[in-house]
Amino acid sequence: MNIQIASSAQEQSHVAEDISSNAVKIKDLSVEVSGLAESSSAAMEKQRSSTNAQKQLLDRFIV
């Protein structure tokens, strides 16, 4: 019986370590995704600005 309890406790410890490791990986990926989202947002804003500048130039030629 004691061997089963020790084995179960060891297994629970390994599972807890796996959960902790996975939580750290999730946090790291979340930080990465956040950075990529910010970069994407900046690129979209630059594209919007460029599109507006092109529209202003084209508006000069409309008859």
State the Cα–Cα distance between residues 28 and 22, nearest whole angstrom.
Answer: 10
pLDDT at 5 over 80: yes
Q: List pLDDT tens digits, range 17-51.
A: 999 999 999 999 999 999 999 999 999 999 999 99
Mean pLDDT of 6-25: 96
pTM: 0.67
Q: What pLDDT sits at residue 1?
A: 85
Q: How far apart are CA 27 and CA 20, in angstroms?
A: 11
**Does residue 63 have a pLDDT over 90?**
no
